[in-house]
Structure 1
């Protein structure tokens, strides 16, 4: 095979990627990023040099784009400078003449007619891409010989640093020199008063449907292919220019101290006195040729890419690393616009076309049947549905499109070109069309065609001249088939102002975050990755037929493997950016009129075959454990969600809709309540609309209808419900009662307000009473008429949370305030009593003054009486009896939660959940820490398998919302559900292991920013016709509804579960342990079952110990002995319980570094004495 054919099969080789990476943006050894968007200011200042990244200009959607092209040449070199290609004049490259390149040939490149042929290609390209919505016209300036600047090429692009010049200074100087060229070229073009020679004197278009853009076409070769087929190893003209799109930021590089040019520095652009333009803001720049060093390379791709930037299309490759991200499958990736050796640039990808408003997108949601099929027609054909959108999460979705190399089902590609003899003709020139089998387009570059026996004949279909049209502008793809794209709207909103969709996120996030990504169907994520060839050189994969569906592959020694689908798991999957499971499968089917195509990619060879057709049926299916079938989730509800702000209610009596369902009422941070059905459908007329900026050049805003239960009453503090009534507490307003009623097929409501000047805690609903607290009183409202009783709080008591702690049928209420102060409302006595707070025994354990507190109640020890579990935002935890004595069950101890009181930055305020996690008949308290899930027993000891580390990569913190306890696997034991502010909902079983079957769920969305948006969620049976309970997650402006099909029957109401924040709509924070099965009786045995000291080794001088006893003990003593047997530390404890026990915060800081023997001595209730040893290291 000749080199031309090989390069067509893999057109961007080593030299291309190295050129992009080497010249560009950041020298590799100076990229220091802590996070994705940590230093856009630095980026903006230094990304100029190669200008493959061109920051986002003011974009416009137009009917006609008129391009004024300026031909510019340089001062002629004599002798020829070896660092540049040519002498500075058009057609002056001796290599070009000797190589006799057949396409984009030399000899007439200085003529205006030659360039009109290239713009003819651009016109045809954009007519097809835009479905006829965009017209490209061009006018070439000047009318005679090209403009000439008074400097050599090398003057604008020196290749080495001066003595003592730093790298940053060198980069700055090269940027300034390049902008000097732009200044000189534009100034030269603006000298004449003749509109035939001065493009800036021509009156501007008056029609709003016509816009004008400018392009400089300069003499010389593009540095893109310096070195030819040998790549950068053979590069010898580093002084050549790269193709640049100049935007407003770049004008700041002009040197105002330059006495020769007298530049007027203006960040808005280049001011042109006397012109009709006033200020030139952007300009495209391209070289006369991309061919050099024996490699024939086209500039069609560069031209249509530059026009795309002018129109507002962003770069889609990684502009920081200079590597491909979308490969051949997108025009705005350098691999895509250089496809087919630069002569056959491909179409923009599905998202880019929809962003430009050139292709309509059909959004699909899971139907009742859980699968649907859509016929997707070839991209750019305009003959039906071209793009199908499948939501994955709140701001992520799939875009599915059909990319076909040939037009229709012909399996042929027609290429039209103007022969070399006619390229300078202004009119009456010949246009020749040659047709190629889709698998043989590479022969357009071949001198001769050879058969399998090596017999060769002259290739009469070899192209020559200038290509002006092609029957399919996806001809340069490596294969045809269904492309499935992942799109992240949040990332795009952050990146688009900088003119990009993807870039390197630093050494931490690397390329794990993206705006656009092709889901590689073969599961081998190779696009944009660096490989080594047989010579040890860097090589790159830019995509193949194996990345599309359907395809099959057959190796020499392996059976045929057909890939029809992209599935929920595997490397090429339908998960979200953060790894959230979606349960979605995308399957392409082979049609009767499909034809097979060989893969055209050097990496894959011809072992991959694709089934291509002008219309391909694609089936999207959702697993049972996925989005609720028949729903509209994920759904944008317009306003940011509030923690504990959602409840599921029965429909009001008398309604004609909602049979067998519940409705959802949810609140936003600003206090607005809205309602929807269990499927996300509205239940009333919308009374207002919110507007958001649309991620599109075609539409400026998106509208979201609100379905409000009245106007906002101010910031929401809490929501509770009972029956058909919702209670909401609003800052500075008080308690609102919203009663729902029937309007036949819609709901209606009545609202009352009980004013409270400064409410702090609540509402909590119990037995027809609603409890709310401010800093003076606990209020008990009657649910019937909102009449109230007030009970004075202890002096200076500032409540932060409350919980129902019943004493029989009496609704006692426990309150926790600042500094972990406790108070108990005694229902029988109608008063509030302040309780003694547990004493902190260990010195410097934590600072309770900097913590806020949560409280929950249950009968933890199953003795028929309630206990309070108190939890601080920085790790304080204690348990006391919920009676007048407030006797301590376990003394305050510290867990890794918040910042442990070290710095004033982060407090974990997420509430407590209570449930029987391990099925032993006793409740456990579950809470969240620093990337940890804790489950502690009635003794305050973390149960076996806990704490659980939530993520192994970036730690999760700032949860701020409830964990839940509910069975989601069907094994009858509940799992712990944890929602992160990164939009992922995890499940962990009773052994402390992550549930991986269907989890984690993509229940929200990840957005990096200063404001934390917690995920609030609950589990309830809201739809009788669907198996399993449903999970509803609220984060930011979105709600997601999932079906938990694998849960056991009635999992949400199981006695062991805590499936709704606050233990139900009443938000009582109380777990009724009496409904649990009786704990199995354990025979008391006088033995020490487990004993260890941690951490081991001990660092920092503080040690903890944990031990398990088979019988309660009268006393326990722990002793440390050094290597000589001398007692160096001793601590005597009081009574110890049967089961788990813990010793916190033993101060052994006086001990030196060594290994110590630790003895635990136990005096059991039976009178027996036992002891057990453990060895622990100490490091000072």
Structure 2
């Protein structure tokens, strides 16, 4: 089964149409009669020909009349009753059985269409394709045979189409023989012996491509769209449902109702929810489109579609809840399919993931009893005046209606079940009778993954090595914390076995084993194995709790996987409380929010409300920009602040291909793609690629915001805006412009150095002068002197080795601070491929540390994308000195003033799929309340991650799924900022923007103490002015330590050294006049010596030492240091070299 689905899964196209009435024309088809009986198939190719079914206790779906139309009409009666119930009366199934007399007979044996062994020299892929072709040949032959007659009683394809637009027609083949799915029966899959039986496959449009166009006997017109039928009343046969005569075999009585319901579901557009590639269950007994669900109750009692499937089909409408001001909300959820109130509650987790909460009740009411209606075996072939018998069972005893034998509580002493029903089951009082137990099911839904799979008719497909372990379209949050559904285990016989779910997967429940304590589970919590985290592990802070309802009844079952006793508390309506932790989505907000347009990097600012507004007291408003340059405005909780002036439409997942209208709250139409955005007071400044600088001034319209705009034309701006002391700065390739913030018509311009192409700029004040450092192409540097009103070029640091570091093809970023705390500004320059250096921001351009190369972006050897994300600055380790923070290829760096990476860094961002091309800013902010700032990173996978000053990932409340994960080639950065936007909350908030979504979270443990904030860089660009300047004067004075002649740390890396290039790092307790590095071989001979020069107290580093002449061996490295005191010391380190 797995092999067949593996080569066919991409072809599982989901046909989709919304219908009120579905006409099903069913074709009974048999084969040439085998003589003698082929042992590889069940039966001889004719209906009722299996000797096993004649002698076994197959009292349900009995043998003897399966060739009759009346028999099958009763199965379709069940399907009609099922779909009328699950659709809340919106869908009717009408079936007509063809032909009017004996079944159609094709001119081949079963085995001709389903050979079981490869031919000599035939490859597996060729064998798989051949089997698919043979199967489609059967479909072709069956349809062709049915199309022979000119009588509408015998030819379904010439029956006139209904004139009612709400009536659609579909076709099903019912063929003689048994379903291969149950081969082995009660003896298990290891005893399967009829491999020639058919699988019950739903034929989609793409399957027709398997037909052999060179087959002259069939004259197949190979058409990807379907089968063209001569003289038919429709153009093309595109899909075909297929089901076997029986599922019972090898001593196991199994029903066909589930298969028929499932096939109709596929025709209606319901996707497979099991893994069609691996052939394993994903949703277990809790969804009819999972094979476990449609085979529930031994195939006689298919269960309801899960909450998402019913919502997708339009049969139920979820009620969406957002975090209220109180932090929790309670909803009474009625039984699924009852239509008596709210059946599904939707809880957003991120912009493309959410929970669906539903009440699954086996008995559909508080009676705890299930009525089963059936036509007795004596009447199954009767076309009229047949008896329908109804029996009522306690919910805990329903199994006696369909099981062959009954056993004691230990599963032993089994005897023939004399209370088992006979005939054909046609109705149930509850179509969730087949689920393991009743209770609240909490589903996780991944909208992106569903969008990827639905075009192929699947919701949970095997995603390959990249995303297979953590991405599903729909999954059940298993309340017991044992994630066993969809996993493979071995039973005592060594056979593969699976858990398809139990009452312990629902809430509330009590579980108690023989040797284990009583375990009562009321909630699905934010952490643990069964949790409310997103599929990528993002923290949500959401807890879903269900309590015993009034009038509940107990259902006692067993956990088949664990063997524990499980008690569930069922009710027609169960109160469920959804609560949000204080460090989750902002209470009273509308987040996550679809804002309609894709976000821009550094595209959001928070401002005070304009004077005179009747709303917004104690809050800030947020202006955010889209990549296309559109600015919008909202409150700090995501609400509207003005009338929408236009809308956009976005698609939503539904069988009807629906769209939703998203209102835009624009501050005017776009002036073109956005370069940057800055703000001061009531003004927002946006720089647009082809238009120039725009000033948007906000003002009050009582309870709404209004605005005025002013444009300063610039033909081709490249960097900016940056605000400082009443001026806003921007630059093109020729000049730096300085505009008055109050009037853009007042502008000055300053020529840039010749051939200087600016990439970035930063404020680097020198006393009272507002100097601005600029970095450009080839790492060239320039300095705008505010007191002189001119731009001068600075000398670039010399590169020691052009072979290992190049400035060509890199783009550059710059940020400034007084890194060494001497009262003068330094500029830290960073390249997109790892170039890094620090120089004094004055005429001298004194080099604090020489250019070095770090792993960042494309290194020229690997095809990695450029890393153009900006720099952040903060006192990460609390030593009183600013540190530079930035990201590399799946790495986070923190460098001190000497260019040495802080202890614990660089740290790997993700252990699985690497993150790169971040584009957006890292931030430095204390989010744990320990008085030391953490580094916040926004990944393109939508995760907001935090790392402490030691380089350890913060796991308390992090990572946050602030955006969304979508695996693809286009990069959509997650841009975010931290600010205190609400006086009603004691701690700051973080706002994140990715694609067309906006989210806001409360950072409940974050510190806003002035000393802590002085160490922070909580807003991209160091603030909404985008100065890229960190004011080190606000830091506490560095604690001076006594100078001691010591070598505190010394090592060579990487170890072992490969490629002949080594780096050395060492920490000194006193300034040194000279340092020397030597390598000795095992004989004690010095084979390498390098003078490293003078060194400073603290951490030091020497990069790219050429030791390529050394052979493979283990060497002793010796660091010799002569301190300024005159004392000498040395330290040894063992290092391997691999050539």
TM-score (ref. length: structure 2): 0.98
Q: Is the 8 A contact 1:1029 1:1050 kept in 2?
A: no
Moved more, 604-613 or 1028-1037: 604-613
TM-superposed deviation, 1:592: 2.5
Distance, in Å, in 1 between the alignment partners of 2:1045 and 2:137 is 90
1:1004 corresponds to: 963
1:613 corresponds to: 571
Query: Is 1:658 aligned to 2:616, yes or no?
Result: yes
SS of residue matched to 2:892? strand
Matches for 1:1029-1040 after TM superposition, within 5 Å: 1029-1040=988-999
Query: Is 1:285 aligned to 2:242, yes or no?
Result: yes
* CA separation of 1:1052 and 1:745: change in aligned 2, threshold 3 A: farther
1:340 corresponds to: 297
TM-superposed deviation, 1:188: 1.0
2:654 corresponds to: 696
TM-superposed deviation, 1:1027: 2.3
* Count of aligned positions: 1137
Question: Which of 997, 1014, 1025 is 1:1055 aligned to?
Answer: 1014
Question: Which of 184, 202, 205 is 2:159 aligned to?
Answer: 202
1:730 corresponds to: 688
* CA separation of 1:422 and 1:766: change in aligned 2, threshold 3 A: same
Distance, in Å, in 2 between the alignment partners of 1:939 and 1:1073 is 16
Question: Which of 975, 980, 985 is 2:944 aligned to?
Answer: 985
Question: Which of 490, 495, 500 is 1:542 aligned to?
Answer: 500
Query: Is 1:376 aligned to 2:337, yes or no?
Result: no
Moved more, 1017-1026 or 1145-1154: 1145-1154
Q: Is the 8 A contact 1:967 1:1051 kept in 2?
A: no
Question: Which of 441, 461, 464 is 1:483 aligned to?
Answer: 441
Question: Which of 394, 399, 402 is 2:359 aligned to?
Answer: 402
TM-superposed deviation, 1:622: 0.5
TM-superposed deviation, 1:760: 0.3
Query: Is 1:562 aligned to 2:520, yes or no?
Result: yes
TM-superposed deviation, 1:278: 2.5
* CA separation of 1:510 and 1:208: change in aligned 2, threshold 3 A: same
Matches for 1:209-358 after TM superposition, within 5 Å: 209-358=166-315
* CA separation of 1:969 and 1:57: change in aligned 2, threshold 3 A: closer
1:681 corresponds to: 639
SS of residue matched to 1:174? helix
Q: Is the 8 A contact 1:1020 1:1052 kept in 2?
A: no
Question: Which of 105, 109, 115 is 1:148 aligned to?
Answer: 105
2:889 corresponds to: 930
TM-superposed deviation, 1:600: 5.3
SS of residue matched to 2:472? coil
* CA separation of 1:663 and 1:451: change in aligned 2, threshold 3 A: closer
Question: Which of 936, 942, 945 is 2:904 aligned to?
Answer: 945
Q: Is the 8 A contact 2:14 2:270 kept in 1?
A: no
1:718 corresponds to: 676
Query: Is 1:500 aligned to 2:465, yes or no?
Result: no
1:997-1036: CA deviation from partner (whole Å, max 9, x where unpaired): 1111111100011110111000000011012100001111
Q: Is the 8 A contact 1:598 1:606 kept in 2?
A: no
TM-superposed deviation, 1:449: 6.2
Matches for 1:625-636 after TM superposition, within 5 Å: 625-636=583-594
1:838-883: CA deviation from partner (whole Å, max 9, x where unpaired): 1111341222102110000000000000000000011110000000
1:1084-1127: CA deviation from partner (whole Å, max 9, x where unpaired): 22222222211222111111111111222222222223333333
Q: Is the 8 A contact 2:16 2:656 kept in 1?
A: no
Matches for 1:589-608 after TM superposition, within 5 Å: 589-599=547-557, 602-605=560-563, 607-608=565-566
Matches for 1:458-477 after TM superposition, within 5 Å: 461-477=419-435
Question: Which of 914, 918, 931 is 1:972 aligned to?
Answer: 931
TM-superposed deviation, 1:58: 3.2
Distance, in Å, in 1 between the alignment partners of 2:1109 and 2:158 is 87
Query: Is 1:1172 aligned to 2:1126, yes or no?
Result: no
SS of residue matched to 1:501? coil
Question: Which of 1087, 1102, 1108 is 1:1149 aligned to?
Answer: 1108
TM-superposed deviation, 1:899: 2.3
Q: Is the 8 A contact 2:676 2:721 kept in 1?
A: yes
1:823 corresponds to: 782
Q: Is the 8 A contact 2:892 2:907 kept in 1?
A: yes
TM-superposed deviation, 1:260: 1.7
* CA separation of 1:955 and 1:447: change in aligned 2, threshold 3 A: closer
Query: Is 1:741 aligned to 2:699, yes or no?
Result: yes
Distance, in Å, in 2 between the alignment partners of 1:546 and 1:455 is 27
Distance, in Å, in 1 between the alignment partners of 2:463 and 2:404 is 45
1:40 corresponds to: none
Query: Is 1:24 aligned to 2:1, yes or no?
Result: no
Distance, in Å, in 1 between the alignment partners of 2:915 and 2:203 is 41
Distance, in Å, in 1 between the alignment partners of 2:241 and 2:416 is 39
Q: Is the 8 A contact 2:4 2:128 kept in 1?
A: no
TM-superposed deviation, 1:429: 0.6
SS of residue matched to 1:175? helix
Distance, in Å, in 2 between the alignment partners of 1:983 and 1:791 is 40
2:400 corresponds to: 443
Moved more, 295-304 or 1082-1091: 1082-1091
1:282-307: CA deviation from partner (whole Å, max 9, x where unpaired): 11011111111111000000000000
Query: Is 1:1112 aligned to 2:1112, yes or no?
Result: no
Query: Is 1:92 aligned to 2:72, yes or no?
Result: no
1:525 corresponds to: 483
Question: Which of 579, 582, 586 is 1:624 aligned to?
Answer: 582
Query: Is 1:131 aligned to 2:92, yes or no?
Result: no
SS of residue matched to 2:198? coil
Unaligned stretches of 5+ in structure 1? 1-19, 27-45
SS of residue matched to 1:517? strand
Q: Is the 8 A contact 1:503 1:511 kept in 2?
A: no
SS of residue matched to 1:1160? strand
What do you get for the CA RMSD once the two structures are aligned?
A: 1.6
Q: Is the 8 A contact 1:1115 1:1133 kept in 2?
A: yes
1:1021-1080: CA deviation from partner (whole Å, max 9, x where unpaired): 001101210000111110110000111234797100000000000000000000111111
Moved more, 67-76 or 695-704: 695-704
Moved more, 554-563 or 1129-1138: 1129-1138
TM-superposed deviation, 1:252: 1.3
* CA separation of 1:410 and 1:652: change in aligned 2, threshold 3 A: same
SS of residue matched to 1:646? strand
Q: Is the 8 A contact 1:588 1:617 kept in 2?
A: yes
Distance, in Å, in 1 between the alignment partners of 2:11 and 2:507 is 33
Q: Is the 8 A contact 2:14 2:454 kept in 1?
A: no
SS of residue matched to 1:245? coil
TM-superposed deviation, 1:604: 4.2
Q: Is the 8 A contact 2:538 2:959 kept in 1?
A: yes
Distance, in Å, in 2 between the alignment partners of 1:247 and 1:1156 is 66
Distance, in Å, in 2 between the alignment partners of 1:607 and 1:982 is 41
* CA separation of 1:153 and 1:590: change in aligned 2, threshold 3 A: same
Q: Is the 8 A contact 1:379 1:403 kept in 2?
A: yes
Query: Is 1:1087 aligned to 2:1087, yes or no?
Result: no
1:1133 corresponds to: 1092
Distance, in Å, in 2 between the alignment partners of 1:187 and 1:1022 is 71
Distance, in Å, in 2 between the alignment partners of 1:795 and 1:456 is 94
Q: Is the 8 A contact 1:805 1:811 kept in 2?
A: yes
Distance, in Å, in 2 between the alignment partners of 1:715 and 1:146 is 67
SS of residue matched to 1:200? helix
Question: Which of 822, 830, 850 is 1:891 aligned to?
Answer: 850
Distance, in Å, in 1 between the alignment partners of 2:872 and 2:14 is 51
2:20 corresponds to: 63
1:959 corresponds to: 918
1:1134-1163: CA deviation from partner (whole Å, max 9, x where unpaired): 331111111111101011122222222222
* CA separation of 1:501 and 1:459: change in aligned 2, threshold 3 A: closer
